[in-house]
Amino acid sequence: MGRITLERVQKKFGDVEVIPPLDLTIEDGEFVVFVGPSGCGKSTLLRLIAGLEDVSGGEIRIDGTAATDLPPAKRGLAMVFQSYALYPHMSVRKNIAFPLKMAGMDEEERRRRVDRAAEVLNLTDYLDRRPGQLSGGQRQRVAIGRAIVREPAAFLFDEPLSNLDAALRVGMRLEISELHERLKTTMIYVTHDQVEAMTMADKIVVLRAGNIEQVGSPIDLYRRPRNLFVAGFIGSPKMNIVGGDLASRHDAAHIGVRPEHLDIVEDGGTFSGKVTVSEHLGSDTFFHVAVPGLDEPMTVRAGGEVGLRHGDTIHLAPQSHQIHRFDDNGLRIA
Amino acid sequence: MATQHSRAAARFMIAPSVILLLAWMLIPLGMTLWFSFLRYNLLMPGANPFVGFENYAYFLSDPTFITSLINTLLLVGGVLIITVVGGIGLAVLLDQPMWGTGIVRIMVISPFFVMPTVSALVWKNMFMNPVNGLFAYVAEVLGVPAFDFLTQAPLASIIGIVSWQWLPFATLILLTAMQSLDSEQLEAAEMDGASALSRFWYIKLPHLARAITVVVLIQTIFLLSIFAEILVTTNGGPGVASTNLTYLVYAESLLRFDVGTGSAGGVVAIILANIVAIFLMRMIGKNLDA
Amino acid sequence: MARAVSNRRMAINTGVAWVLAILIFFPILWTILTSFKTEATAIADPPVFLAFDWTLENYETVQERSNYFRHFMNSVVISVGSTLIGLLIAIPAAWAMAFVPGRQTKNVLMWMLSTKMLPPVGVLVPLYLIFRDYGLLDTRIGLVIVLTLINLPIIVWMLYTYFREIPVDILEAARMDGAGLSSEVLYILTPMAVPGIASTLLLNIILAWNEAFWTLNLTAANAAPLTAFIASYSSPEGLFYAKLSAASTMAIAPILVMGWFSQRQLVRGLTFGAVK
């Protein structure tokens, strides 16, 4: 079981409030991703749950029991660190077995569990090596192995993929997702990468300056961002945001249209401009279009075969039911 | 970052070091300061009346003080120039590829590990002795009269001995700093057409600037307190020709047993050292933030 | 990448470096050689370099006449003793400052360093009087106390710079894995800190062994370590070159070997981490 609730949880460093009081419930078995730009408090929030930082106020409950004052070791949670934090002086086997040893488990059982975890994570051949002799991906796996052997109530991941190269990151992303499917254990995952958030999460928590901006499933956040910040943060490439006259025509202070919701039309359209850069990815093409009167170029997604070039004039029409409207405060207008 | 509990434990763990050093600093310092205002001579028991700044006036107006101050500055300055210039040269040389780097390195740094009394006596007797010393033999071979180093040029001789002891320190630190220089920087400079000399002048030397400052400051702290080398070679003489401030205070305090004047001299030495210390502390403090 | 260098360059570098290195090392080499000569050979004119009858008699004489072993043991007790006590006091402090830094940590560290800047002569008089009044003059315990205190800042600093390199993540991982404070110290911290502690130990023994202000001023015949004992060769015994050399060789040999092993640590320790 791993249901975690935060009630009015708050964190101050001295006089600086990094996390204003917030409430959050994480259901058992959920894969929750905390996402936000760097410095938004997502890692701090994770460390509060882990018990590596004291809360300045509020209550943390794990499966209904008060955990606010429990030391990290007593909370029954396992954590995978950004740096992996493997013990450099221990072999892989000893690293993975360490939490079991701390739990006072007998050696026979330890060996059995480590072997099983190593098998799951393809580490069997490396059990006698030291972390220093492993590649980044293998170290990552050892860190995960160390977390899963103790069968925790929940896993905490602190930007676990940020030290891996791009190809490896995609692979590990899949492995962690599969692991969640198999274990069905609660996972809390911190990242600044909205692609990781969108692909892995059951539930995304978007944070900015310690505040929860929106909580919801990936598709919710994509379809109905609650405010301009979430609208800009979720989705890649970013949503185009336009203010001024064009927005007031839609009774809004700002309107937003995602690149994939702009159609290229022969003439007319809402926006016209010149292509500044075209990025051909094969499957898709992204055009950056300088539209007179707008501060920033607009981004448009087109099919892979569209052959416009720098300097070509282009006309764009947003799909009418895909226009997001926001008021003066940046909040979504229903 | 930490939790409440660990903070309390941390304070408890730091306390012994802080208390000990605080006691070590305050008690003797306070006593030195107090004594410096008393007429206090161990050879004349009885009342030790408060005399205000009399000891300072006496100590500072003594011509020996001026001589010792000049000697101190010459000693520190001379050793610094020799060790820094020599250290840079050796560091550049040892940074080059060669056969037997390890052994060369070991030989070069060895003098630093020789205790001051040993190095002073070995130099004094086996090298600088005007009759049996090796230098006397060299002079004989060259057909020039033997030079009595410690009598005719006592301070310069001591500067030589101390420089021999500290050259390895400067070399080692400058070499370490040199090796931390990114070789791509040098390659970039080479691509930009810089000659070996320009590379040294514009890339290596600026890179060493920080290490040179550290060497100068740290050596100064130690060199201001040179004592054993003087004690076993010249006893500050002939006359006061090789007396530095440290030796003068020692002589006042433990040879003439004039506690009052000795303490006043001690306070002067502390002030002098602190001027250097402030700069050194700033440098190290900056590094702590990095 | 080190670049390939022509053999000629290598040969020139090597030649110049070896000549300079041998010149710098020569006084030590000469001392060691002389310690195996008879007094007559030691002052022979012209000097004899290697072709002499090697003898151990100087070492025997030095021991017989002046109980050399006693002073050697004084040096061992004083340097090792002050270092171990210093480590005992400094390890918890350095640990706390490295892993539980507070707002004052930096100030405390800098202040500790400032005590090291105090010229010893500034506190010579009071310390001498305190030692005299409490019967500590010429005792091993007295010197252990003084050397512990003067080297404590260096020990704390060195340990601090080593501890700070241990990633906090790893300690937190141990805490998450269920390790309490004692397990954390026993299984994680100690094994990772051992190299740093060992270097600190080594460097500090070297510094304490060679300390020659307090050892000269606070000891006489009884507790004098080798620094002070050798000073007694100042005159006229210093003219017995072979014996002076034997006494000197024994005094510097152990430290020379330790020093060779701790070159890197030396830089770090003596520059308080400012140069690595």
Interface of C with B in 55-84 (CB under 8 A): none
| Residue C175 forms contact with A (CB below 8 Å) | yes
Helix ranges (DSSP H) in chain B: 4-35, 54-61, 63-94, 101-109, 116-121, 134-142, 149-152, 154-179, 183-191, 196-198, 205-223, 228-233, 245-250, 259-289
Calculate the average pLDDT of chain A.
90
Q: Both A318 and A182 in a single domain?
A: no
Q: Both A191 and A321 in a single domain?
A: no
Calculate the average pLDDT of chain C.
86
- Indicate left, alpha or beta for C168 from its phi (over 0: left) and psi (-120 to 50: alpha): alpha
Which residue of chain B comes nearest to C215, CA vs CA?
B228
**pLDDT value of residue A307:** 77
In this predicted model, what pLDDT tens digit does every residue of B56-87 receive, in sequence order? 888 888 888 999 999 999 999 999 999 999 99
- Sequence-distant (6+) residues with CB within 8 A of B73 are none
Residues of C in contact with B284 (CB under 8 A): 110, 113, 272-274
Is A246 inside any structural domain?
no
Structure tokens at B9: 């434990």
Residues of A in contact with C177 (CB under 8 A): 73, 78, 98-99, 102, 146, 150
Closest by CA position to B208, among listed B240, B181, B236: B181
> C268, C251 in Cβ contact below 8 A?
no
**pLDDT value of residue B252:** 86
Distance CA(C115)–CA(C125), nearest Å, equals 17
Tell me how close the Cα of C157 comes to any Cα of chain A, in angstroms: 24
- Residue A20 sits in a domain whose CATH number is 3.40.50.300
Taking the model in full, what pTM does it have?
Answer: 0.79
Q: Both A10 and A141 in a single domain?
A: yes
Question: Residue holding tokens 């997604």?
Answer: A301
**pLDDT value of residue B1:** 43
In this predicted model, what pLDDT tens digit does every residue of C221-253 receive, in sequence order? 888 888 888 888 877 666 788 888 988 999 899
Mutation for testing the C interface, residue in B11, B122, B245 having most C CBs under 10 Å:
B122
The values of phi and psi at residue C139, to 5°, are: -125, 150
> B90, B163 in Cβ contact below 8 A?
no
Return the ∠ at Cα B247 (arms to B241 and B252), rounded to 5°: 105
In this predicted model, what pLDDT tens digit does every residue of A163-214 receive, in sequence order? 888 888 888 899 999 999 998 999 999 999 989 999 999 999 999 988 999 9
Domain range B54-289, its CATH number among 3.30.930.10, 1.10.3720.10, 3.40.50.720, 3.10.20.30: 1.10.3720.10
Rounded to an integer, the average pLDDT of C168-174 is: 88
Inter-chain touch A53–B3, beta carbons under 8 Å: yes
Q: Both A182 and A218 in a single domain?
A: yes
Q: Is the pLDDT assigned to residue A235 strictly greater than 60?
A: yes
In this structure, the strands spanning A57-62 and A298-303 are: unpaired
Distance CA(A211)–CA(A189), nearest Å, equals 17
- Interface confidence, given as ipTM, is 0.85
List all chains that touch chain B, counting a touch as 3 or more CB pairs closer than 8 Å: A, C
The percent of residues above 70 in pLDDT, for chain A, comes to 100
| Residue B267 forms contact with C (CB below 8 Å) | yes
In this predicted model, what pLDDT tens digit does every residue of B119-141 receive, in sequence order? 999 999 888 888 888 888 888 88
Q: Both A194 and A286 in a single domain?
A: no
Residue B13 pLDDT grade (very low, low, confident, very high; cuts 50, 70, 90): confident
Closest by CA position to A185, among listed A216, A141, A139, A150: A150
**What does the domain layout of chain B look like in residue ranges?**
54-289
Is A51 inside any structural domain?
yes
**pLDDT value of residue C242:** 87
In this predicted model, what pLDDT tens digit does every residue of A205-234 receive, in sequence order? 999 988 999 999 999 999 999 999 999 999
Q: Is the pLDDT assigned to residue B110 strictly greater than 90?
A: yes
Please list the residues that pair with A285 across neighbouring strands.
A280, A302
Domain that residue A310 falls in: 259-325
Interface of A with C in 197-256 (CB under 8 A): none
List all chains that touch chain C, counting a touch as 3 or more CB pairs closer than 8 Å: A, B
Distance CA(C144)–CA(B221), nearest Å, equals 23
Distance CA(C5)–CA(A332), nearest Å, equals 68
Q: Is the pLDDT assigned to residue B290 strictly greater than 60?
A: no
Tell me how close the Cα of C176 comes to any Cα of chain A, in angstroms: 5
Mutation for testing the C interface, residue in A47, A52, A54, A86 having most C CBs under 10 Å:
A52
The minimal CB distance from C89 to the residues B20, B110, B273 is found for B20
Please list the residues that pair with A227 across neighbouring strands.
A331
In this predicted model, what pLDDT tens digit does every residue of A12-62 receive, in sequence order? 888 888 999 999 999 999 999 999 998 888 999 999 999 888 899 999 999
The minimal CB distance from B7 to the residues C16, C100, C263 is found for C100
- Rounded (10°) angle between helices A107-120 and A92-102: 130
| Residue B236 forms contact with C (CB below 8 Å) | no
Inter-chain touch A73–C172, beta carbons under 8 Å: no
Q: Given A214, A231, A248, which residue is the final one in a domain?
A: A231
The percent of residues above 70 in pLDDT, for chain B, comes to 97
In this predicted model, what pLDDT tens digit does every residue of A277-294 receive, in sequence order? 988 888 889 999 998 888
The values of phi and psi at residue A300, to 5°, are: -125, 140
Q: Both A67 and A158 in a single domain?
A: yes
- C67-232 is classed in which CATH architecture? Orthogonal Bundle (1.10)
**pLDDT value of residue C4:** 61
What is the distance in angstroms between the CA of the first residue and the CA of the last residue of chain A? 37
Q: Give chain A's domain count.
A: 2
Inter-chain touch A52–B4, beta carbons under 8 Å: no
Q: Is the pLDDT assigned to residue C27 strictly greater than 70?
A: yes
List all chains that touch chain A, counting a touch as 3 or more CB pairs closer than 8 Å: B, C
Q: Both A70 and A163 in a single domain?
A: yes
Structure tokens at C49: 């370099």
- Residue A308 sits in a domain whose CATH number is 2.40.50.140
Q: Both A104 and A50 in a single domain?
A: yes
Is A253 inside any structural domain?
no
Residues of B in contact with A47 (CB under 8 A): 1
Residue B4 pLDDT grade (very low, low, confident, very high; cuts 50, 70, 90): low
